[in-house]
Structure formats: structure tokens, C-alpha cells
Structure 1
């Protein structure tokens, strides 16, 4: 009887001076059934394992199939650092290293070398300090794959997609227009169907303004943009609820009515999600031609180097990536 090869899951370590490298070696120490490929500097992982007190076997990735991965074994695609890391202190000289790891992960996923990507947190400011405009993983992978994408964060109890991502609050209203909102809703609807198995996804759409604009008395974005788009898509058969006021959209009676929420901006809904499921929430990029998941937290520079980083979110991200890989497999 032939055993199926374990899926090749690419892991990026994110910011070298953050907790990402420690998260990767702690993940490798688990018995999760996946062929993990760490795309980073080999010595960086060796130092992280030493800080965590873990004996991790680091093997060069030769591209071969693996049918069983013993706990503590991690394959590595070596991409050297610019400078050796100092935990807690990001170095802009390592910005090119970080971007090279993301490029290898994306290009490998696009050509089928990796079944999925799971990413540890990076420090956007360090890359920008190196003179390289950078707004995040989501935007990088979208540009690399020439696709329109949507950021979704998901826990076992709640899924939240975002109409805008890493924008200052004063820029949000101008970024929400009919074309972008329709494109976002179409991506969320399609991915909930194809990736998550909902035959007829129910999506709750939040208003931008308090009380969803209160009939235009607290802003007109709902009347001028959000409702017309929703009505057009409803006419095509989409099950859309709202626009709902954000302050009541997450009460239990409302949650029973939808499968996912579309929030208008980053901090409109994510505090609800993270406050109740921080260590079980996964960042998923919808719309990519490959599967990409990530942790729902930052680089925790104050914790880096202590060997005490909690890998729960990366484990959850990895499990979700594997579930999505297996769901699409024939």
C-alpha cells in the first residue's frame, strides 16, 4: 500500500530579531504530520533552538518526498542573513534577507514546489527603514502573484475579512469605493465556497460609520457606496447581511446569521476576534493562487531571545494550511 507523501509546507521566519525563528523551531518540535521547509538562515535557526533548549535536526531541503517526519526534524532552504541577529533589535541590513525568504516562498508555491505557506511575523518598519517601501505580507504576495487579495482572520468561532488593511484611519473612507468593495466581496464569497466548503456563504457587511451611518446623519458612505454594491450582488444571488453597525454585529444572535464578516477597516473588527481567540486565530490571504496562512500577532521584540515564545498561533496557522491543502486534494 502506497502512502501519500506529506504536504510540503513552506515556513518563513519573518523578522530575524523577533520571535519568528523561535516559533519555527518550536513548531518543528511537534509531531504535526507535514514536511516543513524553513526558508531562512540555517544558523539563525540553530541559535533559536539553543535559546529554546531544543534539539532540532536541520536537514537541507533536497526536494524529495517525505512520508513521515519525526518530531524535531526540520528541512531548511538556506537564505543567509545580512548581519547576525540581535534579539529584540531589528536590523535594516536584514531587510533584503526577509524579502528574499518571502520571494522564495511565493515563487515556490506558484510553481508547485510548496503546497502552502505559513508565515511568522515580520517587522514592517525595519524593511521601510532600509529604504524599501513595504506594507505587509498580504500586499507583497498579491504583487508577487499579480492577483487581487483579501485579508481574512479566522478562529474556530469567527471569520473576519477586511475591505482595507494597513491604512491610516483618515485614508479609509477614500479607499472604499464601489469597484474595490465589489471585488472584495466577490473574492470572499468565492473563497468561502471553494476553500471552506460553503455552498451558499452568508456574509455580514459592516457599515463604515457609527450606527452604519444612521440613515445618512452620521456619514453617507453606506448610502452612496456600500448599499448599492450589496444590492447589485444580492441580485446575483449572494447572501449578504447589512450593512450592520459594528457595535452590535458580534452579539450571539447576529453571529448565528452569517458565516463571515466583512469589516471596513483593520481595527473595526479584529479587536473582537483577537480578544476572544488570540492564540487560535489565523491570518489567511484570500484570492491568491496558493494557500497562505500566518500568525495573528506581531514580532514580540520584548520577548525575543528569551526562548519563551508561545507557538500556539503558528501551530494553528499550520493546521489550517494543512486542512486547506487536504480539502483541495483529489
Structure 2
């Protein structure tokens, strides 16, 4: 057990992971990106703590995390609507809170969305692996030990108090719905799918199956036929939509394998892949085609709104 002070894990929750913005530049040695499933909420948690946006935080999937502070600091929780309590008192999400040594911070279970982000002022002081603290359990790297957080783990951080706290106006909070539209850039392999199959894909509704995790979301709905059974294994981008032999789409996410051989009908924009990461089993999905230029526009508009948003002081 570390002798450093920080937060003691009292209850580890369903799946709680240390994440920074992700691990890049290591595909050539078989290491995937990792990083937050909902990058937008992750960035907001850090901004509310006045951290650089890439600062290490905790991604809490489903809920059930309880921490005990060992020092004075500031935290913020964003993302899915998980009830937040500090010493048993209900507190608001999407704002920062002053924490004293001995305080108990608990996240209940999400009723909208799947993943929340808990950031602390100046971040958790975790040693990087291959240039990142992002935890990828399948690869056994990142975080404290390459695995999810466990009871009695200590997350080290610095004591840091602020003269004020920050809050994001409730009107600007994202809504986590059970239905999302995934704007999708058609793949260079789209010619392996007939015009009819492409229309079928973009006009059908799919549901999130029970097989969804940080590696990928398997969907159920209209089967999509492809003219070939597979392609030579090649690198796979974030948001790639694979069509395996059963015709049911798989959207590949942060912890995806680095190479694969299923045909790909397109790639979901990063903005919408983050929305998919907040869907649970039964969530409804529709795909809508967009151009690469439109995807870039969506991204930069979102980034501009984030940068122009002024936080309230409380």
C-alpha cells in the first residue's frame, strides 16, 4: 500500500478506472488508446477543477464508488446522473466541491447514462505507462496496477484548496437519452456493401445488446450483408463500424483491438461515439451518413462551444 496521501477506496463500484485522455503512438506495439469513453464529460470534470484537460481522473461505470479523503482538496463529478453525496449529504453534479480530510464521497448508481468522471484538483499522481495513465484492463497497463480500482487502494494526489468553486449552468448540462443518432463517415470499404445494404443500414434502428463494454458495442437489428467475408487485417480507428458474418454491427470503442479483419461500413464521429458510450443495454441507435468535412465541422463547433462557455463562481 502506498504511503502517499490521497483518497482511500472504500467501495470500488462496478468498474472504476483511472483514465487520462488516452494512450497514443503505441499501436505499432499492439497497445490501444484507452482513455475516457465520454471525452466531453471528462474534459468538463477537469475544467471544473481548473486542471489541464488531460489530467488523470476516475471513470466510474454504472456507479457504486465510495472514497474517503485523506487530505484537503477540490473535486468535481460530471457525466451520467449518479447521485453524489459528501458525508451523506446530496450534492450537485457539474460543479466543484471543497473536500476536507476525513470526508466520505459516494456515487450511487446511474439512472441516466452509464459513465461518470470524478476529477480532483491537480489530478491523481499516477505513474504513466507508455506515455499515459489510461487503464486498459485487457492489456494490464495504466492506472495503479493495470487493473480496475480495488477496495483499500489509495489514489495519491496533492493537497490543494481553492478560494472558490466553479459550476456549469444547468442549462448547459448534456442530456443522456436512451436514443442517439450516430453520424457516420462512410468507409473506403463501402463498395463491398450494395446500395441496398447501405440504405438498409442508414435507415434501420438498432439496439444495444447485452454485449457492450469499453472495447465495443454490439448492436442488434436488421442484418447487413457484405459481398466479402473479411479483409486483410488492418488498423482500426475509433468509432469504426464492423460488419461481422452475422450481419450485426459492432461499433469499436476506446479499448478496441488495434487490428481486425471484418469489413467496415463506416466510422462514427468522435462526438457521437462519446454519446454511444453513455448508452446501456436496450438503448436505441440510428446511423446517419455525413462527410469527413461535416464531421470536422461538428468537432470544431463542439470545441468552440466548450472553450467559449463561462463557468459561474460559487
TM-score by length of 2: 0.28
TM-score by length of 1: 0.27
User: Which protein is richer in strand relative to its size?
Assistant: 2
